[in-house]
């Protein structure tokens, strides 16, 4: 594992990946399977988490992911990911997914946005501390504020479910 600094700028681990979709990635309707997109989202976010934290990181959760438009075979799908927020050992990674239609030149289509929480782990699979992400501009600061809102909702939802189960027991 590399030496891990106390903080890293958000641009340090940002990553873009482009993928040309193929026939074998389709669902029964003939459009690209949502699971193919989700696998690539998880992979891209995992690389960002590993680069930011300087070592292995595992997917802890993925927020609701809304598919806005179908992706067609041959479309070029772009995944852009960065660390939005850091806790002690967890990181929220935001992934924006856009597509260029294979048969026309036009503005990129917004396919989906996903937010994933990764936890950096040590050799025993135990959470380890991550560098704090340093937002570099207003957009990064907006992403960090919104990530904090999502985290507080995740924690509140988890606590409400635990309380409800304990109340029912």
Ligand X SMILES: CC(=O)SCCNC(=O)CCNC(=O)[C@H](O)C(C)(C)COP(=O)(O)OP(=O)(O)OC[C@H]1O[C@@H](n2cnc3c(N)ncnc32)[C@H](O)[C@@H]1OP(=O)(O)O
Residue facing ligand X at closest CB distance: 87
Query: Based on CB atoms, which residue is closest to ligand X, 137 or 164?
Result: 164
Interacting residues toward ligand X by CB under 6 A: 46, 58-61, 87-90, 117, 119, 121, 125, 127, 154
Q: How far is the CB of 59 from ligand X (least distance, A)?
A: 4
Q: How far is the CB of 46 from ligand X (least distance, A)?
A: 4
3-state secondary structure the chain: CCCCCCEEEHHHCCEEEEEECCHHHECCCCEECHHHHHHHHHHHHHHHHHHHHCCCEEEEEECCCCCCCCCECCCEEEEEEEEEEECCCEEEEEEEEEEECCCCCCCCEEEEEEEEEEEEECCCCCECCCCEEECCCHHHHHHHHHHHHHHHHHHHHHHHHHHHHHHHC
Q: How far is the CB of 93 from ligand X (least distance, A)?
A: 11
Query: Based on CB atoms, which residue is closest to ligand X, 110 or 153?
Result: 153
């Amino acid at each position: 594992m590399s030496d891990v600094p106390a903080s890293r700028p958000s641009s340090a681990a940002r990553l873009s990946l482009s993928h040309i979709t193929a026939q074998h990635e389709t669902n029964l309707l003939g459009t690209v399977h949502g699971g193919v997109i989700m696998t690539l989202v998880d992979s891209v976010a995992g690389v960002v988490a590993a680069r930011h934290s300087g070592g292995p990181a595992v997917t802890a959760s993925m927020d609701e992911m809304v598919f806005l438009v179908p992706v067609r075979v041959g479309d070029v799908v772009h995944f852009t990911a960065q660390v939005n927020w850091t806790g002690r050992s967890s990181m929220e990674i935001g992934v924006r997914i856009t597509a260029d239609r294979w048969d026309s030149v036009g503005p990129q289509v917004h396919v989906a946005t996903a937010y994933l929480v990764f936890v950096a782990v040590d050799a025993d699979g135990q959470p380890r501390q991550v560098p704090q992400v340093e937002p570099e501009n207003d957009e990064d600061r907006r992403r960090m504020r919104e990530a904090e809102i999502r985290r507080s909702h995740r924690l509140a939802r988890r606590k409400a479910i635990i309380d409800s189960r304990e109340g029912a027991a």
